[in-house]
A = this chain, B = another copy of it.
């Protein structure tokens, strides 16, 4: 049977959104519910895909099917496209599976030509309405279908108003509108070389193609990328009989929400305009009235609308965003959809609707977008100040929140001045050496680097606001000054940055602290009951651990030990260890680091109060701890009592062509077992001390990074056991600990069965696993990844959203192999993906035991894990 590409509204329903798009499915559903919907039909998303497969052409078959449905529509309405006696006018609107507001194109009043216009004047006795509609149609068609510039048309209108000495469009007469129609058609012919199409069927088919084309326009592509909507979905097209809100004082149009989308309050919210078309409400020339005022104007229509709104909310079990038109006192519903809402409102509506008995807790959980919670957890700018302010530049929204402070250009300066007031750290890019300055700052602004740059990753981990990769930002370190789109800001002057939008402002903008209402805790409580995966946090110090605990983390999934080494009081010992010429010298330097590491671990163990803590052994290549510039080497050499030549030689010997694939991770303790021994000693002694001091048993989990073969984990595990078992036996405690491994190399996943013979847990390091699986260096992929997304070679940035089709297969193998060898192996994930809802959904399917993410993402992960468990419950 041939595929069906066109559906009457009465043939569809709300479950068909993949085929009919959101708008089409909801129009069909409303039709089925018996609500007053102007009739029409939907051309499916598959027709759109087919259009692209056919090289940008509507095939003869689909064209025939469209015209067949047009016939049927004419029969239902009793009107006829192009018939001056009883003309049918239609709107042609896009409608994708997911709402993409304002992203694609719409054409109204289609079906008008000179004859039809004259006929309508006779029918309505309202020539101004008719010619206003006609000139609007020509404008929209020329712009949307033919790509002629909107401005040209507006300038004709402006010229005419000037001629007549009037200000407003509404002051133009019917005759003026007729004049404009003539001018518009002349302009069209002069630019297009042919007349404006008078055949309504030609108009219709051209308009449908224009909607299909709009799926591929740049705005739509950018929007899809931001919202993870696959290009392959395509858009549907809705062809619907026009109804008119501008036919007189008994007509009108409006938009309304069933609840307040800003606060969540349970009261109809929206506005309307009498004698107006939809675009007038938006245009802001006349001031619309609040929806409740409609009760005074047309009480019956208002009652009908309230009843429709109520039944739609009950039917969809969600707050609705509706468009309606009143034509000669008849109410028509033009659209309904689940309404967008602020994060606060989202939480309140979900909780209220459970209270009203409209939703179960699980249903309520599904209504909240987990990523929206982010905004509830960070300070934001005062809305009034924000409305008044104009950004001077924009970067990537790398870590959410709002920050304001005096600008400093080095980590040292930021740290110093943070003592006397809030500071912003502004750098070309950050490195591990900047950690202390970042901690001291309210926010971080960088000129280079993407969402996964060092600044972005570390800032998110700390919950610091960060705007990264602002291309227009020039920093002159020597003169302590920045330039941004012509604005000059010197050290110490104030700037404000919005890490949720990427906007950058001059001066001090007031911020408002995050207010987490009781509804938030209620929702989190429901989520915790429902979810099946544990949620841990990544935390490198007691402060972050405490934050994580506060946000509901059930343990630490990743403590990176290297950040501890970068602190100013520690890095000298670390450097001494690196330049050591013998194992003995190395051991002496390590002995200085030992008490500091032990202290760090004690702090974290205490903060977590017996919850599991996974500590990763030293991971980065050693050269990261040494300076690379000659001038810095010179200074450090002097400090260390070395010659420049000696230190330079060490730096050179540590240089690697591809450091990501070089001497790091478990390769370090394999070459220098004393490093692993010192770290084990620090971990176990800290666990012993805290257990003895608090009486709460600590069970450390020691994680070996960058393992690719059983031999590696076996070697390092032996080394750990030799140290740990001796210390524990001397302590007299019955202490337990686990040794496990990161799964971050493809070979680790592939040979997980053998690695699990030694490893007691796996933690997927999805950042590195993604890098190695794709062969994408995160530091370098900025050069080509944007082009990959632009050219649709990849649907998503695999560093933001876990790649299920490729890297995901490796994870599935590792899970299966790992359990095959060790049925109770603990499986978790500690990459950036651990806080991404779409990725969390996959981890639920694959069967992981927990996810670990930065402390500020913990609530998001808790909610996302609950949603994942609802969608794919485990036995």
- Does A138 sit within 8 A of B, measured CB to CB? no
Q: List 7 A-B contacts (CB under 8 A).
A: A656-B780, A667-B784, A708-B776, A746-B775, A746-B806, A750-B806, A768-B775
What is the CA–CA distance of A794 and B658 in the complex, to the nearest angstrom?
21
What is the CA–CA distance of A700 and B5 in the complex, to the nearest angstrom?
42
Please state if A776 and B661 are interface contacts (CB–CB under 8 Å): yes
Please state if B708 and A779 are interface contacts (CB–CB under 8 Å): no
Please state if A657 and B659 are interface contacts (CB–CB under 8 Å): yes
Please state if B777 and A661 are interface contacts (CB–CB under 8 Å): yes
- Does A783 sit within 8 A of B, measured CB to CB? yes
Please state if B775 and A806 are interface contacts (CB–CB under 8 Å): no
Q: Which residues of B contact A118 (CB under 8 A)?
A: none
What is the CA–CA distance of A745 and B746 in the complex, to the nearest angstrom?
10
- Does A317 sit within 8 A of B, measured CB to CB? no
Instruction: Choose one: B661, B747, B771; the contact of A807 (CB below 8 Å).
Output: B747
Known: A711-B792, A751-B805. A660 touches B662 (CB 8 A): no
Please state if B670 and A775 are interface contacts (CB–CB under 8 Å): no
Please state if B708 and A775 are interface contacts (CB–CB under 8 Å): yes
Q: Which residues of B contact A791 (CB under 8 A)?
A: 670, 715
Please list the 4 inter-chain residue pairs (A to B) with the smallest Cβ-Cβ separation, ordered nearest first: A711-B793, A661-B777, A658-B777, A657-B779
Nearest B-chain residue to A658, judged by Cβ: B777
Please state if B750 and A810 are interface contacts (CB–CB under 8 Å): yes
Instruction: Choose one: B747, B784, B787; the contact of A773 (CB below 8 Å).
Output: B747
Please state if B775 and A657 are interface contacts (CB–CB under 8 Å): no
- Does A535 sit within 8 A of B, measured CB to CB? no
Please state if B754 and A805 are interface contacts (CB–CB under 8 Å): yes
Q: Which residues of B contact A803 (CB under 8 A)?
A: 747
Q: Which residues of chain A from 765 to 795 have any CB-CB distance to chain B below 8 Å in the complex?
A: 768, 771-777, 779-781, 783-784, 787-788, 791-794
Q: Which residues of B contact A711 (CB under 8 A)?
A: 788, 792-794
Q: Which residues of B contact A750 (CB under 8 A)?
A: 773, 806-807, 809-810
| Chain A residues proximal to chain B, CB less than 8 Å | 656-663, 667, 670-671, 706, 708-709, 711-712, 714-715, 744-747, 750-751, 754, 768, 771-777, 779-781, 783-784, 787-788, 791-794, 803, 805-807, 809-810
Measured CB to CB, the closest approach of chain B to A769, in angstroms, equals 9
Q: Which residues of B contact A709 (CB under 8 A)?
A: 774, 793-794, 806
What is the CA–CA distance of A745 and B709 in the complex, to the nearest angstrom?
18
Q: Which residues of B contact A805 (CB under 8 A)?
A: 751, 754
Q: Which residues of B contact A657 (CB under 8 A)?
A: 659-660, 777, 779-780
Q: Which residues of B contact A663 (CB under 8 A)?
A: 780, 783-784
Instruction: Choose one: B662, B708, B714; the contact of A806 (CB below 8 Å).
Output: B708
Nearest B-chain residue to A663, judged by Cβ: B783
Measured CB to CB, the closest approach of chain B to A767, in angstroms, equals 13
Q: Which residues of B contact A662 (CB under 8 A)?
A: 777, 780-781, 783
Please state if A771 and B806 are interface contacts (CB–CB under 8 Å): no
Other CB < 8 Å A-B pairs besides A671-B784, A711-B794, 9 of them? A657-B660, A658-B658, A661-B777, A663-B780, A670-B791, A706-B775, A747-B773, A747-B807, A772-B775
Please state if A780 and B747 are interface contacts (CB–CB under 8 Å): no
Measured CB to CB, the closest approach of chain B to A712, in angstroms, equals 6
Please state if A793 and B661 are interface contacts (CB–CB under 8 Å): no
What is the CA–CA distance of A771 and B658 in the complex, to the nearest angstrom?
11
What is the CA–CA distance of A667 and B791 in the complex, to the nearest angstrom?
12
Please state if A787 and B656 are interface contacts (CB–CB under 8 Å): no
Measured CB to CB, the closest approach of chain B to A173, in angstroms, equals 53
Please state if A775 and B807 are interface contacts (CB–CB under 8 Å): no
Q: Which residues of B contact A656 (CB under 8 A)?
A: 777, 779-780, 783
Q: Which residues of B contact A714 (CB under 8 A)?
A: 793
Measured CB to CB, the closest approach of chain B to A783, in angstroms, equals 5
Measured CB to CB, the closest approach of chain B to A114, in angstroms, equals 45
Please state if B670 and A784 are interface contacts (CB–CB under 8 Å): yes
What is the CA–CA distance of A784 and B668 in the complex, to the nearest angstrom?
9
Please state if B792 and A661 are interface contacts (CB–CB under 8 Å): no
Instruction: Choose one: B658, B745, B779; the contact of A779 (CB below 8 Å).
Output: B658
Please state if A751 and B658 are interface contacts (CB–CB under 8 Å): no
Among A714, A745, A771, max chain B CB count under 10 A is at A745
What is the CA–CA distance of A354 and B784 in the complex, to the nearest angstrom?
60
Known: A658-B659, A783-B663. A773 touches B745 (CB 8 A): yes
Please state if A810 and B777 are interface contacts (CB–CB under 8 Å): no
What is the CA–CA distance of A774 and B659 in the complex, to the nearest angstrom?
14
What is the CA–CA distance of A215 and B99 in the complex, to the nearest angstrom?
71
Q: Which residues of B contact A806 (CB under 8 A)?
A: 708-709, 746-747, 750-751
Q: Which residues of B contact A671 (CB under 8 A)?
A: 783-784, 787
Among A657, A779, A780, max chain B CB count under 10 A is at A780
What is the CA–CA distance of A376 and B715 in the complex, to the nearest angstrom?
42
Nearest B-chain residue to A754, judged by Cβ: B805
Nearest B-chain residue to A751, judged by Cβ: B806
Measured CB to CB, the closest approach of chain B to A809, in angstroms, equals 5
Please state if B780 and A810 are interface contacts (CB–CB under 8 Å): no
What is the CA–CA distance of A578 and B301 in the complex, to the nearest angstrom?
69
What is the CA–CA distance of A776 and B777 in the complex, to the nearest angstrom?
14
Nearest B-chain residue to A708, judged by Cβ: B774
What is the CA–CA distance of A750 and B774 in the complex, to the nearest angstrom?
10
What is the CA–CA distance of A715 and B791 in the complex, to the nearest angstrom?
9
Q: Which residues of B contact A775 (CB under 8 A)?
A: 660-661, 706, 708, 744-747, 768, 772
Instruction: Choose one: B660, B712, B774; the contact of A658 (CB below 8 Å).
Output: B660
What is the CA–CA distance of A31 and B318 in the complex, to the nearest angstrom?
90
Please state if B793 and A772 are interface contacts (CB–CB under 8 Å): no
Please state if B745 and A780 are interface contacts (CB–CB under 8 Å): no
Measured CB to CB, the closest approach of chain B to A305, in angstroms, equals 47
Q: Which residues of B contact A715 (CB under 8 A)?
A: 791, 793
Q: Which residues of B contact A772 (CB under 8 A)?
A: 746, 772-773, 775
Measured CB to CB, the closest approach of chain B to A634, in angstroms, equals 19
What is the CA–CA distance of A787 and B750 in the complex, to the nearest angstrom?
23
What is the CA–CA distance of A299 and B253 in the complex, to the nearest angstrom?
124
Among A658, A744, A791, A803, max chain B CB count under 10 A is at A658
Nearest B-chain residue to A779, judged by Cβ: B657
Please state if B809 and A751 are interface contacts (CB–CB under 8 Å): yes
Measured CB to CB, the closest approach of chain B to A216, in angstroms, equals 16
Please state if A746 and B773 are interface contacts (CB–CB under 8 Å): yes
What is the CA–CA distance of A771 and B805 in the complex, to the nearest angstrom?
22
Nearest B-chain residue to A786, judged by Cβ: B671
Known: A661-B780, A787-B671. A712 touches B747 (CB 8 A): no
Measured CB to CB, the closest approach of chain B to A785, in angstroms, equals 9
What is the CA–CA distance of A794 and B715 in the complex, to the nearest angstrom?
11
